[in-house]
């Protein structure tokens, strides 16, 4: 392999720069050379006029000829006045354009950069630059230099330019020192950087394999991955030791010593039972214990209410079925009650009856997601809030202003779509409920478990400690809708009825993933809008997997191309105005506005459309389904992904006019009965499955439910004993 070459010169032009990946094409004028040299590589952002040193080698590209493949880059301040002027006017420094750059260089000459570094207030000597503007220019200059230093440092370790910018904004000028001291801090502080990226930096810095803080970081990573990747609250000790030993290439004894250090530092808990030793992260151990204790306290605090359920039916002019009436009576008699049932079993009617029964009390409605809260509001005529909004996300502990020190002000809380609540959100809610508050938990226990850790609804039902009413009688659309009928057939292990004339449930055949993907696009773009009389935006594609020809990722690319193609000459950025997008991680700090209201927090699963794409300001504006608008800098665009197609898990709590879903052979752990059940219950008017009938049979037959490591049920039993 040829040895590394070094080029030094002045950056003349940035031909192309991808802010997501850092891939750059630039032209530099080499020192003492007349011609320009093209260079390509994943590099930090640079500006024309800067002096650069590139490390790499020349390669022959079959289309573009000879170019320099740069592996890394170092920046240097320009040394001649022409370079200084171009550097200042490049846009890198706020407050300086071409005219101002010329005036500064003409006034200070060779001392220009020294003035900016050491005596920037002298800029006020120039007419039109006051003291305040001089301070702003100096601050921007120092920030630009600090940013580039950090960017060069991080990209040298394989960190993308996007993440490097986030790290700089988080740590500022201390970024390099902090990372050199302990690169594993990136795991805790920067969303999207995991153990493997931090470990790569650490190893290249010469940190030993068996360094205690490396082993502790590896253990924390495995606990975090198990919680937010598989939904476990804890791992069995033997399993985590073996997993960490394999990941870290370290002896079991060293890993066990690191686990002891992790527990001593109060970052993990090892809990012994008669059957096993459980290892928790401290946050999940606290959440599980507090949830059980708070729920037990709630159940012991509220007396039976002297209300007549039959009178409520009469006043509201509704007739409740046997199960609904029993649920109403249980809610009046018990401080906490769980109501579960599938689609069409009258959960919404019951909620309306409960609101009427508690009409003399302060009643609040809530749901885990914006879509679910919006649907709850439309069905009841009373405003429902997301749980995050109810708890008033702010600057309080865990981000919620409402907690035990500042409880909510209500007598009754009805929460819908409880199957989506993970243990951390549940704990936050229970901490904020006032003493004596009645809690009605409504959901479908047969839906997929929450995306986050735990399985609160199923655990509470399994404990037998809380009154539970299961609604089984079908009311909604039972006669005319195969969606409801088939949902219950699938849940009971029966094959759905397919392709009945004039129905709302169809199978379109497709022999493989390529054919299925092509059919899905045609259905969404052409056939279904015409059939339903709606726009493609009302049709949601759901897929069991992310990978593959008919997976979420590939379908999104095909659907974006079909529904919102790029205009001629449009820059190759992943999103553009009109794109359907989804937030894929909780961002508690992102500010949103809605009419005359504003707040903080956009959360995992929130869906909307890109309203604006401002290349000059390097920002996107997204309008979410509940009317909130939020602005994203390009560096934060990785918190979004295209949502023409989404995974079934991400669709929970949502409802769409129509659902299209490819159903092909796949891994049994994913292609399960309750995944198919969850998918079709998201549709209001139409379900179209694309694939093979035999693969639908396989999913219906696969009743496997992924077990989650959670001890909430047993803790709740003990708390109430």
Q: Which residues are annotated as a binding site for ATP?
A: 344-348
| Pairing of β 645-647 and β 539-543 | parallel
Question: Crossing angle of helices 195-204/212-230, nearest 10°?
Answer: 160
Would you give the DSSP letter of residue 584? -
Cα(257)–Cα(247) distance, rounded to whole angstroms?
16
Q: What are the angstrom distances between the C-alpha of 1 and each of 41, 120, 645?
A: 18, 48, 44
Task: Sort 306 into a burial class: Cβ within 10 Å, 0-12 / 13-18 / 19+.
Answer: exposed
* Backbone conformation region of residue 168, classed left if phi is above 0, alpha if psi is from -120 to 50, else beta: alpha
d(CA 134, CA 121): 6
Say how many C-beta atoms besides its own lie within 10 A of residue 346's C-beta.
Answer: 22
3-class DSSP state of 481: coil
Instruction: Report whether 218 contacts 246 (CB < 8 A).
Output: no
d(CA 214, CA 631): 37
Answer yes or no: are the C-beta atoms of 75 and 51 closer than 8 Å: yes
State whether the Cα torsion 471-475-478-481 is positive or negative.
Answer: negative
Residue 355 CA to residue 363 CA, distance in Å, equals: 7
Rg of the chain (C-alpha set): 29
Helix, coil or strand: residue 694: helix
How far does Cα 408 stand from its chain's mean position? Answer: 27
Residue pair 244/257 in contact (Cβ under 8 Å)? The answer is: no
Per the structure block, which two tokens stand in for 3?
A: 């040895």
Burial letters 96-127, b for 16+ CB under 10 A, else e: beeebbebbbebbeeebbebbeeebebbeebe
Which residue, 389, 425, 351, 444, is CA-closest to 655?
444
Q: What SS3 class is residue 628?
A: coil
Query: For residue 217, which of 164, 181, 255 has the smallest C-alpha distance?
Result: 255
- Give the helix/strand (H/E) hosting 386: strand 384-386
DSSP assignments along 526-553, one per residue: IIHHHHHTS-GGGEEEEES-SSSTTSHH
Q: What are phi and psi of 301, to 5 degrees?
A: -100, -30
Give the containing element (helix H, strand E) for 263.
Answer: helix 252-264
* Contacting residues for 115 by C-beta, under 8 A, at least 6 apart: 108, 122, 123
What 3-state class would DSSP assign to 440? strand
**End-to-end Cα distance, the chain:** 72
């Amino acid at each position: 392999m040829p040895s590394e070459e070094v080029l030094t010169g002045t950056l003349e032009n940035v031909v192309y720069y991808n802010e997501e990946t850092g891939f750059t094409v630039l032209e530099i004028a080499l020192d003492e050379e007349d011609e320009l040299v093209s260079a390509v590589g994943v590099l930090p952002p640079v500006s024309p006029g800067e002096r650069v040193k590139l490390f790499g080698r020349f390669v022959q590209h079959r289309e573009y000829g000879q170019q320099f493949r740069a592996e890394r880059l170092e920046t240097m301040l320009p040394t001649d006045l022409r370079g200084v002027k171009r550097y200042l006017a490049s846009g890198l420094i706020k407050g300086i354009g071409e005219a101002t750059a010329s005036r500064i260089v003409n006034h200070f000459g060779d001392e220009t950069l020294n003035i900016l570094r050491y005596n920037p207030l002298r800029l006020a000597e120039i007419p039109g630059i006051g003291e305040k503007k001089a301070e702003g220019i100096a601050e921007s200059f120092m920030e630009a230099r600090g940013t580039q230093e950090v960017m060069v440092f991080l990209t040298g370790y394989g960190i993308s330019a996007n993440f490097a910018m986030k790290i700089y904004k988080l740590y500022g000028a201390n970024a390099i020192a902090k990372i050199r001291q302990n690169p594993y801090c990136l795991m805790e502080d920067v969303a999207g950087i995991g153990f493997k990226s931090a470990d790569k930096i650490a190893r290249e810095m010469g940190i030993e394999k068996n360094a205690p803080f490396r082993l502790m970081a590896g253990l924390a990573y495995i606990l975090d991955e198990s919680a937010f990747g598989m939904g476990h609250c804890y791992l069995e000790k033997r399993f985590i030791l073996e997993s960490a030993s394999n990941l870290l290439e370290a002896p079991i004894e060293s890993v066990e010593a690191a686990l002891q250090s992790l527990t001593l530092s109060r970052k993990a808990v090892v809990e012994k039972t008669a059957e096993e030793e459980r290892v928790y992260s401290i946050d999940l151990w606290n959440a599980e214990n507090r949830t059980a204790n708070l729920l037990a306290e709630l159940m012991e605090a509220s007396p039976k209410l002297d209300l007549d359920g039959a009178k409520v039916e009469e006043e509201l002019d509704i007739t409740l079925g046997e199960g609904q009436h029993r649920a109403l009576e249980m809610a009046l008699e018990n401080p906490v009650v769980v109501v579960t049932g599938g689609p069409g079993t009258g959960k919404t009617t019951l909620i309306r009856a409960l609101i009427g029964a508690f009409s003399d009390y302060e009643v609040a409605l809530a749901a885990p997601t914006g879509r679910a809260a919006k649907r709850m509001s439309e069905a009841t005529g009373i405003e429902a809030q997301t749980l995050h909004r109810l708890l008033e996300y702010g600057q309080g502990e865990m981000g919620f202003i409402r907690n035990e020190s500042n409880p909510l002000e209500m007598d009754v809380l009805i929460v819908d779509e409880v199957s989506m609540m993970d243990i951390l959100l549940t704990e936050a809610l229970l901490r904020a409920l006032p003493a004596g508050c009645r809690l009605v938990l409504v959901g479908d226990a047969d839906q997929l478990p929450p995306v986050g850790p735990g399985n609160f609804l199923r655990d509470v039902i399994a404990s037998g400690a809380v009154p539970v009413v299961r609604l089984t009688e079908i009311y909604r659309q039972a006669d005319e809708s195969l969606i409801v009928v088939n949902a219950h057939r699938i849940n009971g292990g029966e094959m759905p009825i397919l392709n009945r004339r004039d129905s709302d449930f169809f199978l379109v055949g497709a022999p493989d993933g390529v054919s299925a993907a092509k059919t899905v696009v045609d259905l969404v773009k052409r056939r279904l809008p015409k059939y339903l009389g709606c726009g493609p935006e009302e049709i949601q594609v759901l897929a069991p997997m992310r990978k593959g020809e008919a997976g979420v990722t590939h379908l999104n690319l095909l659907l974006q191309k079909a529904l919102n193609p790029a205009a001629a000459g449009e820059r190759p950025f992943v999103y553009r105005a009109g794109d359907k997008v989804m937030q894929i991680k909780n961002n508690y700090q992102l500010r949103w506005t809605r009419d005359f209201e504003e707040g903080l927090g956009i959360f995992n699963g929130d869906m909307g459309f890109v309203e604006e794409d401002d290349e000059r300001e390097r920002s996107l504006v997204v309008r979410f389904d509940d009317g909130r608008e939020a602005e994203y800098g390009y560096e934060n665009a990785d918190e979004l992904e295209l949502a023409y197609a989404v995974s079934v898990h991400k669709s929970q709590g949502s409802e769409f006019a129509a659902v299209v879903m490819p159903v092909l052979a796949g891994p049994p752990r994913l292609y399960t009965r309750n995944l198919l059940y969850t998918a079709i219950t998201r549709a209001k008017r139409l379900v179209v499955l694309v694939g093979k009938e035999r693969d639908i049979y396989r999913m219906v037959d696969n009743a496997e439910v992924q077990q989650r490591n959670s001890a909430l049920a047993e803790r709740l039993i003990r708390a109430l004993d």
